[in-house]
Amino acid sequence: MTRLEALQEWVDDVTRLTRPDRVQWCDGSEGEARALQQAMFASGELIALNADTHPGCTLHRSDPGDVARVEHVTYICTADREDAGLNNHWMAPDEAHARMDALFEGCMEGRTLYVIPYCMGPIDSPLSRCGVELTDSAYVVANMRLMTRMGGAALARIEREGRFVRGLHSIGDLDPERRYIMHFPEELSIKSFGSGYGGNALLGKKCHALRIASHQARDEGWLAEHMLIVGVENPQGETHYIAAAFPSQCGKTNLAMLIPPESYPGWKIWTVGDDICWMRPGEDGRLWAINPEAGFFGVAPGTGPDTNPNALAMLDRDAIFTNVGVTADNQPWWEGKGDGLEPALNWKGEPYGPDTAPAAHPNSRFTVSISRCPSYTEAAEAPQGVPISAIVFGGRRAGLMPLVLQAGSWRHGVLLGAGMASETTAAATGKVGVVRRDPMAMKPFCGYNYGDYWQHWLNIGDGLSSPPEVFHVNWFRKDDEGRFLWPGFGENMRVLDWVLRRCLGDTGVVESAVGGLPEPGDIDVDGLDLAPGAMDALTAVDVEGWRRELSEIDAYLRTYGERTPQGLLDELARVRDGL
């Protein structure tokens, strides 16, 4: 129940359409969470894990056909098709509503409709935005409770502001043929049917905080991005914040909570966010960022003591695991966990063996509150956000792209972002390992025409007197035998160090046509076991390769026709001439 008429009317309308047995308004309390958990244990939707080794931890096994985002049935429904752009699937709003309402009709019979008021961002921040998700999935409620500020305080803000994003979700019958994720950015609403998977079902995350928010941000003069936010504190106690955009499963969670190598005594890493970043120009001419989320929905495989010890440390209590394996004594298990244990059951609950590997689905995930992260910082709660010194773009590229490249200007930085490409991963259904264009790591998440989006990025820079420096990194370069050239993970600190020294003007740079590169020896490789010649390969410019790359980027940018900003094409021409 609410005193906000518009909200009550919408809940009543949805109740009439979907016909649930009961409606439950969620308050986000402990008691509510415990009762829901008990109900899910009873229904089998959730399984309790080993309470001695993992108190409060649970496992959810999803439908085997519902394990990732589904980009081919994700739509942006704007009145004008052009506004959605080639980067999105489009459907006319009327048609989309009709199709979705037909699916939702009576779909909650025998089920409970949960009303989830949530706030994306600190509850008292002017940068935060609220929404209400209506769902028939208790698993969604449990996840939203960790991922957002959910319940009474959010509802109070919604009632005060009167404006909120409306998200309607049902798992339906999990039939992939009857699965759609529809966005109506002009109405601030979302309709999602037929999937219980994170990005499709936790509507505060990709649907609201990226697709709807990016559209809203363009109108209101800010940015909603697929970026981590990390603070780097030097031994003098000064902290600088970096925002970094890598595509799905390309290292954001890992970079956001890395542990510096031994050669960095006195340095500290502070985690503000690992997936989404909302940034606004401040009165001081800098960009200020908040993490709209309150938890992590992180990739489990590969999370081990050598790669991401901070993540491992937060996963031993009060976490929800989705589609991981379990050991004989019911501990969660995944490839790369490095605990010396053996899986007994795979993610489908089948006895584990060579024929039923891998134990964990490649897109298996953990959900956990950000406050459990050892490198969590209270700065994540600051209403004004944190000032951003550097923006870093990066992708999964076996060849060409160097370890790190610095843009010569904001405009060049926007080109580096718009020219991004990366190998596809298990985060979305479809082929894995195919290089595709993924500007700013937003290909699946930009809620409007990419051409307009790049122009918006250029405009934001024009309004900043102290814009962040912009960089491009690549942790995933391989040698001819397919081995990674760079050790990655905690060692990425060495690159962040160079990035910050460049921001402060404390070190030089080797200028090249495609961007600034580290001077030989300027990236500290003390204690690293690099292959001979690795550093040369990682910092070289392959002129022929870059010619081909730039001509591909040119052709790609031009597919957006009249919406491609002239400023971006001019910048590209400048770089090509320089080569």
Identify which of residues 248 and 377 has a Cβ nearer to Mn ion in the complex.
248
Separation of CA 43 from chain center: 30
Site residue total, ligand SPV (CB under 6 A): 9
Phi, psi for residue 298 in degrees, rounded to 5: -100, 160
> Residue 509 and residue 64: Cα distance in Å, rounded?
50
Q: Rounded to the nearest whole angstrom, what is the least distance from the CB of residue 203 to Mn ion in the complex?
A: 15
Residue whose Cβ sits closest to ligand GTP:
488
Contact indicator for 192, 220 with CB cutoff of 8 Å: no
In contact, 227 and 221? CB cutoff 8 Å: no
C-alpha closest to that of 208 among 227, 230, 191, 229: 191
Q: Please give the residue ranges that form the binding site for ligand GTP (CB under 6 A).
A: 246, 248-254, 274-275, 298-299, 301-302, 307, 427, 475-476, 484, 488-489, 492
Active site residue 250: yes
CA nearest to 224, candidates 290, 188, 278, 165: 278
Burial class of residue 154, CB neighbours in 10 A (0-12, 13-18, 19+):
buried
CB nearer to ligand GTP: give 254 or 375.
254
Determine contact, residues 330/49, Cβ cutoff 8 Å: yes
Cis check: omega of the bond before 532, within 30 degrees of 0: no
Write out the binding residues for ligand SPV, residues 424-453 only, by CB under 6 A.
427
- C-beta of 241: minimal distance to ligand SPV in Å? 20
Distance CA 573, CA 578 (A): 9
Structure tokens at 101: 């309402």
Q: What residue 198 binds from Mn ion, ligand SPV, ligand GTP, none (CB within 5 to 8 A, per partner kind)?
A: ligand SPV
Q: Name which of 147 and 495 has its Cβ closer to Mn ion.
A: 147
Q: Which stretch binds ligand SPV (CB under 6 A): 197-205, 516-524, 530-538, 548-556?
A: 197-205
State both tokens at 213: 């928010």
Question: Given 250, 277, 373, 446, which residue is catalytic?
Answer: 250
- The residue within the footprint of Mn ion, chosen from 136, 275, 293, 423 (CB under 5 A), is 275
Which residue, 266, 311, 240, 225, is CA-closest to 489?
Answer: 311
Complex with ligand SPV: residue 216 or 248, whichever CB lies closer: 248
| Residues across the chain | 579
Q: In terms of CB distance, is 325 or 408 closer to ligand GTP?
A: 325
Burial class (CB in 10 A: 0-12, 13-18, 19+), 382: middle
Contacting residue, 54, 60, 69, 280, with ligand SPV by CB under 6 A: 69
Site string for Mn ion, 244-273 (x = CB under 5 A): ----x-------------------------
Number of residues that bind Mn ion (CB under 5 A): 2
Contact between residue 266 and residue 235 where contact means Cβ atoms under 8 Å apart: yes
Burial of 398 (0-12, 13-18, 19+ CB in 10 A): middle
* Cα–Cα dist 37/45, whole Å: 9
User: Interface with Mn ion by CB under 5 A: which range of 54-62, 111-119, 176-184, 274-282?
Assistant: 274-282
Amino acid at residue number 212: I
Site string for ligand SPV, 270-309 (x = CB under 6 A): -----x---------------------x------------
Instruction: Compare residues 475 and 546 and give the one whose CB is closer to ligand GTP.
Output: 475
**Contacts for 72 with CB less than 8 Å, ≥ 6 apart:** 89, 429, 430
Q: Nearest residue by C-beta to ligand SPV?
A: 199
Minimum CB separation from ligand SPV for residue 225, in Å? 12
Query: Rounded to the nearest whole angstrom, what is the least distance from the CB of residue 574 to ligand SPV in the complex?
Result: 32
Select from 416, 401, 518 the least CA-distant residue to 461.
416
Among ligand GTP, ligand SPV, Mn ion, none, the one that 560 touches (CB under a kind-dependent 5 to 8 A) is: none
Q: Is 248 in the site for ligand SPV (CB under 6 A)?
A: yes
Instruction: Between 247 and 325, name the residue whose CB sits nearer to Mn ion.
Output: 247
* 70-86 per-residue burial string, b: 16 or more CB within 10 A, e: under 16: bbebbbbbbeeebbbbe
Smallest distance, Å, CB 551 to ligand GTP? 28
State which residue has the least CB distance to Mn ion.
275
CB of 141 to ligand SPV, least distance (A): 16
Nearer to ligand GTP, 484 or 556 (CB): 484
Which does residue 149 touch among ligand GTP, Mn ion, ligand SPV, none (CB within 5 to 8 A, set by kind)? none
Using alpha carbons, select from 472, 493, 463, 451 the residue that is nearest to residue 408: 472
Which lies closer to ligand GTP via its Cβ, residue 170 or residue 254?
254
Q: Are strands 469-473 and 386-394 parallel, antiparallel or unpaired?
A: parallel
Site string for ligand SPV, 78-117 (x = CB under 6 A): ----------------------------------------
Check: CB of residue 190 under 8 Å from CB of residue 207.
yes
Q: How far is the CB of 343 from ligand GTP (least distance, A)?
A: 17
Q: Output Rg (C-alpha) for the chain, integer angstroms.
A: 23
Catalytic residues: 250
Chain residues that interact with Mn ion, rule: CB under 5 A:
248, 275
Chain residues that interact with ligand SPV, rule: CB under 6 A:
69, 198-199, 205-206, 248, 275, 297, 427
